[in-house]
A and B are shown apart, each in its own frame.
Chain A
Amino acid sequence: MDSLDEGVDAAVVRAEIRRYERRARLRNVVRRVVVFAAFVIALSLLYSGYKAVGQSIDDAQRDWPVIGSVMPATNDLIMPPISAILSEFDDPPQRRNAKTLGQFIFEASLFTAREAFFGFVAGIVLGLSLAILMLRSRTIERGLMPYVVVSQTVPLVAIAPIIVIWGQTNFGWLPFTWNAWMSVSIIATYLTFFPVAVNGLKGLQSPSAESIELMDSYAASRTQTLLKLRFPASVPYLFAALKLAASASIVGAIVGEISSGVGGGIGRLILDFASRYTTGPERLYASVAGAAVLGIVVFGLISIAERYALRGRAQENPVV
């Protein structure tokens, strides 16, 4: 009987702890959301405040010595009011078409997210493969790493047209039809693989010499050491890289769309509205806000994934 009582007590305590943890987690989420919202509101107030002051002094701040030259004018053309930007989301860009700009931005975001997603996945595969390859030998690492670094200094505008034309002419053998947006995914891959390769390698090399020796003493093969020791140890490093890579994949997709002429995504929308900026500056601001939200969402998703993957690990492996 005694033992049963004890069992019940332990279960109650465990449930209590779980409830406490859940509440703490919820509080944490609420706090983050509040801080984020406060930040957005503060920025909006700063924007509106600067605009109001500029309007009241007739943009005299632009004549101030030194800093005057970088102070933007505050008229509605340069700085449309935030209320106008927000109401633009609900305004159809085409008179006879009921579809609002907000709907266009949402659909374009999904289109860009798809390009970025495939680029992101391909970037992870490529980055990890490179990391594992460089792990194999110092010589390969020394030989390959400079190229990995140099690859990121080549401007995207230089490679984008090459990739697009290359995609249109060289993928006839694929079992599916090559679409222009897939070329944009390749451009996103180009930005994504870099942090994964660099951080992945660092993570794979992170286990201590003792841990490696222990695996060796078990007569573990290289593959076993990789899968059972190195890979789990690299996960925190990888997530740091994935957060960078996720944002980079969105940037890559947007830049790729702009330079390659692939339509349907948020990059095209931004370019489209930028090229007729004066006729409706709010539309450009709204699309850029859409792109920013997309970046934040993607970053957030990776953060959530990281939390789940690294649960209960913080104490045992305090990196990053």
Chain B
Amino acid sequence: MTKRKKGNARLFGFVLAMALIAAACGGGADDTATTGADGGGDAKELTPITLQLQWFTQAQFAGYYAAVDQGFYKDLGLDVTITQGGIDILPATVLDSGAADFAISWVPRGLVPREEGLNITNIAQIFERSATLQVSFKDKGITSVADLAGKTVGNWGFGNEFELLAGLRSAGLDPDTDVTLVQQQFDMLALISGEIDAAQAMIYNEYAQVLETTNPETGELFTADDLNVINWNDVGTAMLQDAIWADADKLESDPEYRANAVKFVEASMRGWIFCRDNVDKCVDIVLAAGPTLGESHQKWQMNEINGLIWPSSNGIGLLDKSLWDQTVSVATTESILTAPPTDGAFRTDIAQEALDNLKAAGVDVNGSGWTPITVELKPSGE
């Protein structure tokens, strides 16, 4: 009996030790960014705001991280916390549940849950252009959509494939019979190992990944000269991507929330304008928020993201009705939506107010003089 007691005492000691170790690990990395309290001189009460991203920290969201880092949100009285996305996290759902105040989502991925009953609305269309490409190696000879006939064509599925399907139809191809569609992983292995002839790629991410990959045949990096690219913006089946979404009911019922929405959009626009004019600084901000990300890859991404926003025809964030209609038209013909969205799926008054404030402050909201820089990608994107 004494022996057993001793054993139990040891066991208790062991569990206690484990608990202490776990508690000591308590100071681990935190994945949220806040405006922080640096030098917090003014005693102004900040309104806490949570922003739900569609994916993990990367330059795709640089404008928001920059607005936190540069204090743009704080200047307008907001304390913004950025929550990263996950594989099974749908920003629209998080927004609707009240766990986030605003969310970043592609337009189709906001409209589908909206049709299913979530009352959310697009308040600022940040990206004017689509970033989705269909990429293939030169030897496949795919220079136009029609060349995809008879080929094995990769796509990510889950709502990422509609520009491709609509594009195929626009070239007179039947997606069911004229091409072999296969689901592709998020990496570019299937393209590089030759399992598929053409792969879906974001111009700011997977396309660059190919250029950061060593060709196992030659031992050198792949180059843009090795690739053919189909750009859906040129084909005319592009769909609108990153936009800021808000809770539509709350905008109507809660004047304070609406006022905060204007402030949030305005400060976010400032963040994006800052990243247009300070690419290197924004890359630093993103790298600090995502310490395992590669530097040259994020710089490439920042430059390409700028190209999706700038030059901005109507001023950043102000939705272009013709591109909206094109998105809706693709969505309905591809049966993503059963009917065009009801009124209130987007509103431009909030973005307009934010733009007016910025213009009054003498900020360039169109970036008509913007030109891309040249980014040299390093192996592994480092």
Q: Point out residues on A near B: beta carbons under 8 Å.
A: 73, 75-78, 93-97, 99, 101, 104, 107-108, 110-111, 113-114, 117-118, 121, 157, 160-161, 164-165, 168-169, 180, 232, 258-264, 268-269, 271-280, 283, 301, 304-305, 308-313
Are the CB atoms of A165 and B87 closer together than 8 Å?
no
Are the CB atoms of B88 and A161 closer together than 8 Å?
yes
Are the CB atoms of A261 and B89 closer together than 8 Å?
yes
B304 to A: closest C-beta gap in Å: 15
Selected contact of B99 from candidates A76, A78, A113, A169, CB within 8 Å = A169
Selected contact of B25 from candidates A111, A271, A301, CB within 8 Å = A111
CA distance A301 to B11 in the complex (A): 11
Residue of B nearest to A306 (CB): B11
A65 to B: closest C-beta gap in Å: 20
Q: Which of B66-91 contact A (CB under 8 A)?
A: 83-90
Enumerate the 6 nearest inter-chain pairs by beta-carbon distance, A residue then B residue, closest first. A261-B86, A263-B31, A168-B99, A277-B187, A111-B28, A259-B88
* 14 new A-B contacts at CB < 8 Å, known A97-B291, A276-B297: A76-B216, A77-B214, A78-B189, A78-B193, A95-B295, A111-B25, A114-B22, A161-B89, A161-B93, A168-B99, A259-B88, A264-B28, A276-B294, A279-B212
Are the CB atoms of B287 and A97 closer together than 8 Å?
yes
CA distance A184 to B381 in the complex (A): 30
A-contact bits for B192-220, CB 8 A (1 contact / 0 none): 11000000000000000110111010000
- Contact residues in A for B22 (Cβ distance below 8 Å): 113-114, 117-118
CA distance A269 to B98 in the complex (A): 28
A7 to B: closest C-beta gap in Å: 21
Are the CB atoms of A94 and B87 closer together than 8 Å?
no
CA distance A269 to B29 in the complex (A): 13
Are the CB atoms of B18 and A301 closer together than 8 Å?
yes
Residue of A nearest to B284 (CB): A96
CA distance A60 to B55 in the complex (A): 40
Report how many residues on chain B are interfacial, defined by Cβ distance under 8 Å: 60
- Contact residues in A for B313 (Cβ distance below 8 Å): none
- Which residue, A77, A269, A275, A283, has most C-beta atoms of chain B within 10 A? A275
Are the CB atoms of B89 and A272 closer together than 8 Å?
no
B293 to A: closest C-beta gap in Å: 7
Binds A, one of B1-9, B142-150, B349-357: B1-9
- Contact residues in A for B99 (Cβ distance below 8 Å): 165, 168-169
Are the CB atoms of B87 and A261 closer together than 8 Å?
yes
Selected contact of A260 from candidates B89, B378, B379, CB within 8 Å = B89
Residue of A nearest to B94 (CB): A165
Are the CB atoms of B28 and A114 closer together than 8 Å?
yes
CA distance A160 to B97 in the complex (A): 15
- Contact residues in B for A76 (Cβ distance below 8 Å): 214, 216
Are the CB atoms of B382 and A165 closer together than 8 Å?
no
- Contact residues in B for A168 (Cβ distance below 8 Å): 94, 97, 99-100
A225 to B: closest C-beta gap in Å: 17
A247 to B: closest C-beta gap in Å: 15
Are the CB atoms of A107 and B29 closer together than 8 Å?
yes
CA distance A183 to B18 in the complex (A): 21
Are the CB atoms of B90 and A279 closer together than 8 Å?
no
- Contact residues in B for A75 (Cβ distance below 8 Å): 216
CA distance A258 to B89 in the complex (A): 10
Q: Which of B323-369 contact A (CB under 8 A)?
A: none
15 A-B Cβ contacts within 8 A?
A: A76-B214, A94-B295, A95-B296, A96-B295, A161-B86, A168-B99, A168-B100, A259-B86, A262-B86, A264-B30, A271-B87, A275-B186, A276-B212, A277-B189, A278-B189
Residue of A nearest to B85 (CB): A261
- Contact residues in B for A305 (Cβ distance below 8 Å): 11, 14-15
Selected contact of A308 from candidates B14, B29, B90, B381, CB within 8 Å = B14
- Which residue, A111, A118, A269, has most C-beta atoms of chain B within 10 A? A111
Residue of B nearest to A158 (CB): B88
CA distance A76 to B379 in the complex (A): 14
Are the CB atoms of A111 and B29 closer together than 8 Å?
yes
In the complex with contacts A111-B25, A260-B88, A169-B98 CB distance below 8 A: yes
Q: Point out residues on B near A: beta carbons under 8 Å.
A: 3-4, 7-8, 10-11, 14-15, 18-19, 22, 25-26, 28-32, 56-57, 83-90, 93-94, 97-100, 185-189, 192-193, 209-210, 212-214, 216, 287, 291-297, 378-382
A150 to B: closest C-beta gap in Å: 21
Residue of A nearest to B31 (CB): A263
CA distance A242 to B79 in the complex (A): 43
- Contact residues in A for B25 (Cβ distance below 8 Å): 110-111, 113-114
Are the CB atoms of A263 and B84 closer together than 8 Å?
yes
Are the CB atoms of B31 and A180 closer together than 8 Å?
yes
- Contact residues in A for B85 (Cβ distance below 8 Å): 261
- Contact residues in A for B296 (Cβ distance below 8 Å): 95
Residue of A nearest to B86 (CB): A261
CA distance A305 to B13 in the complex (A): 10
Are the CB atoms of A263 and B56 closer together than 8 Å?
yes
- Contact residues in A for B209 (Cβ distance below 8 Å): 276, 278-279
B11 to A: closest C-beta gap in Å: 4
Are the CB atoms of B187 and A275 closer together than 8 Å?
yes
Are the CB atoms of B189 and A309 closer together than 8 Å?
no
Are the CB atoms of A313 and B29 closer together than 8 Å?
no
B251 to A: closest C-beta gap in Å: 19
A155 to B: closest C-beta gap in Å: 10
Residue of B nearest to A275 (CB): B186
- Contact residues in A for B189 (Cβ distance below 8 Å): 77-78, 277-278
Residue of B nearest to A159 (CB): B88
- Contact residues in A for B56 (Cβ distance below 8 Å): 261, 263, 268, 272
A156 to B: closest C-beta gap in Å: 9
A71 to B: closest C-beta gap in Å: 14
- Contact residues in B for A304 (Cβ distance below 8 Å): 14
Selected contact of A313 from candidates B7, B10, B93, CB within 8 Å = B7
Selected contact of A311 from candidates B3, B213, B379, CB within 8 Å = B3
Are the CB atoms of B295 and A73 closer together than 8 Å?
no
- Contact residues in A for B292 (Cβ distance below 8 Å): 93-94, 101, 104, 269, 272-273
Are the CB atoms of B216 and A278 closer together than 8 Å?
no
CA distance A24 to B297 in the complex (A): 55
- Contact residues in A for B193 (Cβ distance below 8 Å): 73, 77-78
B224 to A: closest C-beta gap in Å: 16
In the complex with contacts A272-B292, A278-B209, A311-B7, A258-B87 CB distance below 8 A: yes
Residue of B nearest to A264 (CB): B29
